Amino acid sequence: MGAMSDAYRKSLDAWSRGDVEGMFADYADDVVWYPNRSMRPVHGKEAMRAFMAKFAKGMSDISYQQTHMVESGNMLFVEGTENYTKNGKKISVPYAGVVEFRDGKFVAWRDYFDLKSLEAELAR
């Protein structure tokens, strides 16, 4: 794969290990992230870090499998599955994402997954 795929995997690997600083090492300060396209965007690296810290409460055993990754211009398209345990419940969520880069930094990230399915898994 290429540099964008490597940066993406490096970020998720850091998150999986609980290395928050490593996760955000390649993010622009003004990154815009949509945790899910149906949700409001999170503006800025610090706001994204705060969102992730709140979301991470009760999480363990985090892992990601990417089934498809395609780089085109300054964009990375990803399809995969996010797996983790949250408050004792095993969660597995298929997702797709579009990540934009500028000067080797994440500047935009849009995630797509079925929010209702995730909510149902968390509620069971």
pLDDT digits (tens, 9 = 90+) for 64-95: 999 999 999 999 999 999 999 998 989 999 99
Classify domain 3-123 by CATH architecture. Answer: Roll (3.10)
pLDDT digits (tens), the chain, 124 positions: 799 999 999 999 999 998 988 999 999 999 999 998 888 999 999 999 999 988 888 899 999 999 999 999 999 999 999 999 998 989 999 999 999 999 999 999 999 998 888 888 888 7
**Can you give the residue ranges of every domain in the chain?**
3-123
Specify the pTM.
Answer: 0.89
Q: Which long-range contacts (CB under 8 A, 24 or more apart) does 77-85 make?
A: 78/8, 82/113, 84/59, 84/60, 85/59, 85/60, 85/61
